[in-house]
Amino acid sequence: MFKETPTTNETETVIGPSVKVEGDFVTEGNVIVEGIICGTIKTSRNLKVGPKSRIFANVAAENALVSGEIQGNLKINDRLELTSTGKIFGDIKVGTLIVAAGSVLNGKCQMGTPKEKSIKPDFSKQEKIDLKTQVNSEAEKIENKQSKKK
């Protein structure tokens, strides 16, 4: 009645510990790295970096879970999770950052979406207050009051 086919996993690229990749590694599926990569990594989906892996590359992904070492800049659109064995030596741009105790992060960090900027008060529309003239006018008022009393 039902199709007797073996269970298939979601399309994933796996780079095992025995493999060394050099160059521009661009894919559209999930990527699991357990080996060594030199160059660049780009994926439109998730990236998982294993504890014994080493990446000497700029990384771009949707989500990332880092347990190994990355030397290069990271651009993660959504969520970056750095586990206790994870090491990043480079600048990161990320939506949400989760850092575990024991992890290493050396570099500039920019979090949040580009729309989320700090709200500065806008003083340009306010009229300028001339303190000198205000002080003088108040002094004149006080003098007038005093002279009237006399």
Partner 1 sequence: MYYYLYDSKLNDKKYTNIIARIETRLTDLGINGKINRLSFLKNINQVLAEEIKRGVKTIIIVGDDKTIGQVINLIADFNITIGIIPIGPNNNIARLLGLPSEESACDIISSRIIKKMDLGKINNYYFLTSLEIGGKNITLECDKNYIINLQENNNIINISNLNSCYDTISDPTDGKLDIFIENVQNRLFRKNRSTLSHLKNKTIRVTSDKTIPIFLSDERKIIKTPADVDIIPKKIKMIVGKRRYF
Least distance in Å: CB of 2 to partner 1?
A: 10
CB of 16 to partner 1, least distance (A): 4
For the bound state, the minimum distance from the C-beta of residue 95 to partner 1, rounded and expressed in Å, comes to 27
Residue type, 136: N
Q: Please name the amino acid found at residue 17.
A: P
Nearer to partner 1, 17 or 102 (CB): 17
Distance in angstroms (rounded) separating the CA atoms of residues 36 and 40: 12
Quote the least distance from Cβ 121 to partner 1, whole Å.
50
Report the interface residues with partner 1, using CB under 8 A: 3-9, 11-27, 29, 34-35, 39
d(CA 19, CA 34): 8
Q: Is 90 helix (H, G, I), strand (E, B) or coil?
A: coil
The distance between the two most distant Cα atoms of the chain, rounded to a whole number of Å, is 112
